[in-house]
Amino acid sequence: MLTLWPIHQLELEHSQYPGIMVISALLKERGFRSEVVAADLDAVCERLENESDAVVGFSSTTAFAAHYLELARGVKQRFPGVLTTFGGAHPTYFPEVIHEEGVDVVCVGEGEHAMVELVEARSRSDDYTSIRNLWVKQNGTVHKNPLRPLVEDLDTLPIPDHQVFLRAARKPPIHAIVMTGRGCPYSCTYCYNHAYHKLYAGLGKVVRRRGVDHVMQELRLLKAEGCRFIRFMDDVFTVSEEWIHDFSQRYRAEIDLPFSCLVRANMVSAKMVADLKQAGCHRIMMGIEAGNDRLRNEVFKRRMTREHILSAAEIIRGAGVKLVTANILAIPGGSLAADWETVDLNLEARPNYSSASLLQALPGTEIHDIADNLDLLHDDNLEQLTNGGFGFSTALRHPDRAEARQVENLHKFFPLLIWFPWLKPLVRVLIKLPPNRLYEVMYMVSVNIGTHLIAIPPRVGFPMLVKKFAGKLIPRRRARAAREAAGA
């Protein structure tokens, strides 16, 4: 039996889903087929011809939920016999998507064992309405099952199946996304982790790490595939000094590829950074998020001081590792002046590249409720977010629209300001102009320089950039050629 994973923007180099890779590896271990396909109705339907009992798995963040739901509806219309399943961050916090047309099953929380049980039951034509973690819609009834405990030992899971993505999209891989653990000990209000802690209360330890040996097996396979850069995407890479030490020693000896990882400022020690540098760490990403202490610690519950941030920044820069910082603007209860404090704290930390997002109040997060209580949510907040909206404009209904527009403009100037702090007086004037396309283009150019040529070594990032733009231009050229051929 085939499990098919449609992926939105599959052509992009970073479209690699570790969650799907683990499920795929397990399915293959049990003798089932698992394939990734572009999330395009024609491509999916073409693959489903002669696979009428297939399971179609959508791994969905909130941003892409509308796209996947539309695709699921289309698939069900053409192939009513296939089973559409939804998992990932969005359905985990918003399992009510089960009520949408075209959705048969929703997975809440971790999905590897639930998915295997589902595929096994379906292949035997057994009942699958009582599998833990799944909400199943059948004959108009929704069966809501409880969660099973979290996977206690991540080493009992197979090595993630990178091949399922490599075969579908890219050869050879330029960079690979790898998760060495799961969970974060913190509960920042804008992040999905605090909701995860609540969801899984009493069902096991949320913060877990794979053994170094297990991780090395995955990395060796990636190296053999020709991969040139590893992006560790664990929420906090530096949770254990001992693990980092063992990992660093072995990484240098066995893998020796440049890599990046994410840290929290209060969980950085000079020893860990020295170990990581010695292992080949090119860049460390650290959230500053808000320069204003009240917003950072009361509204966001970041639990970190300015001193934590500045000291970690100094350690990272001092070790010769590139520092990239992440920030959030347009915070509930914040202001333009507070967002300038964020610029200033970044300037003190002196990152090599820094960017900011405009806050998105995702369903299931505490910041969503904070924004709601302050009456800052648009009526169509969820609809906008599930359509990938609010990237360039603020997601909140700020009472002072003129100030909100300045914040939106400040967001576009953020990376430039960090590189060229002397632009500050000019930017204070320029952000008073209406938001415009020119600022958006300037922002996209700086983000691409930052993410491809600073956060990644240019010898790796430059080919990624070329691939990204070629991917954008080639389909357009093809479409134009097709139109011309059709005489349009």
The item of ligand B12, ligand SF4, none sharing an interface with residue 371, based on CB under 5 to 8 Å by kind, is none
Minimum CB separation from ligand B12 for residue 482, in Å? 27
**Contact, 260 vs 323, CB < 8 A?**
no
Name every residue whose Cβ is closer than 8 Å to that of residue 464 and which is 6 or more positions away in sequence: 13, 174, 175, 452, 456
Q: Pattern of binders to ligand B12 over 207-236, x per CB under 6 A?
A: --------------------------x-x-
Amino acid at 264: R
Q: Binds 68, which of ligand SF4, ligand B12, none (CB < 5 to 8 A, cut-off by type)? A: none
Q: Pattern 236-275, binding to ligand SF4, x per CB under 6 A?
A: x---------------------------x-----------
- Choose which of 87, 102, 435, 461 interacts with ligand B12 (CB under 6 A): 87
Q: Between residues 89 and 274, which has the closer beta carbon with respect to ligand B12?
A: 89
Closer residue to ligand SF4 in complex, CB, 86/186: 186
Pick from ligand B12, ligand SF4, none: which does 59 bind, CB < 5 to 8 A by kind?
A: ligand B12
Burial classification of residue 463, based on how many CB atoms lie within 10 Å of its CB (0-12 exposed, 13-18 middle, 19 or more buried): middle
**107 interacts with, out of ligand B12, ligand SF4, none, CB within 5 to 8 A per kind:** ligand B12
Among 108, 184, 272, 276, binds ligand SF4 (CB under 6 A): 184
Determine the interface stretch with ligand B12 among 58-66, 292-300, 303-311, 313-321 (rule: CB under 6 A).
58-66
Q: Rounded to whole angstroms, how far apart are CA atoms 450 and 355?
A: 8
| The only residue of 15, 59, 133, 193 in contact with ligand SF4, by rule CB under 6 A | 193
Tokens of 149: 């405990």
67 or 398: whose CB is closer to ligand B12?
67
Burial-class residue 233 by CB neighbours within 10 Å (0-12, 13-18, 19+). Answer: middle
Give the Cα separation of 412 and 358 in Å (integer). Answer: 10
274 backbone dihedrals φ, ψ, rounded to 5°: -65, -40
- One-letter amino acid identity for 213? D
**Residue 179 touches which member of ligand B12, ligand SF4, none, C-beta under 5-8 Å by kind:** ligand B12
The number of beta carbons lying within 10 Å of the beta carbon of residue 487 is 5
Distances (CA, A) of 377 to 293, 297, 302, 361: 24, 22, 22, 8
Alpha helix segments (H runs only) across 176-233:
193-199, 212-224
Q: Which residue number, 192 or 247, has a Cβ lying nearer to ligand B12?
A: 192
User: Which helix (H) or strand (E) element contains residue 465?
Assistant: helix 458-485
Does 323 participate in binding ligand SF4 (rule CB under 6 A)? no
What gap in Å lies between CA 272 and CA 342, rounded to an integer?
26
Q: Are 395 and 361 in contact (CB under 8 A)?
A: yes
CB of 399 to ligand B12, least distance (A): 25
Tell me how far apart the alpha carbons of residues 287 and 447 are, in angstroms, rounded to a whole number.
16
407 binds, among ligand SF4, ligand B12, none (CB under 5 to 8 A by kind): none
Helices (H), 79-211: 89-93, 112-123, 163-168, 193-199
Q: Which stretch binds ligand SF4 (CB under 6 A): 78-86, 99-107, 186-194, 363-371?
A: 186-194
Give, as ranges, the residues between 233 and 272 that touch ligand B12 (CB under 6 A).
233, 235
Q: Binding residues for ligand B12, per CB under 6 A?
A: 14-15, 17-20, 22-23, 57-59, 61-64, 85-90, 92-93, 107, 110-112, 114-115, 177, 179, 182, 191-192, 233, 235, 362
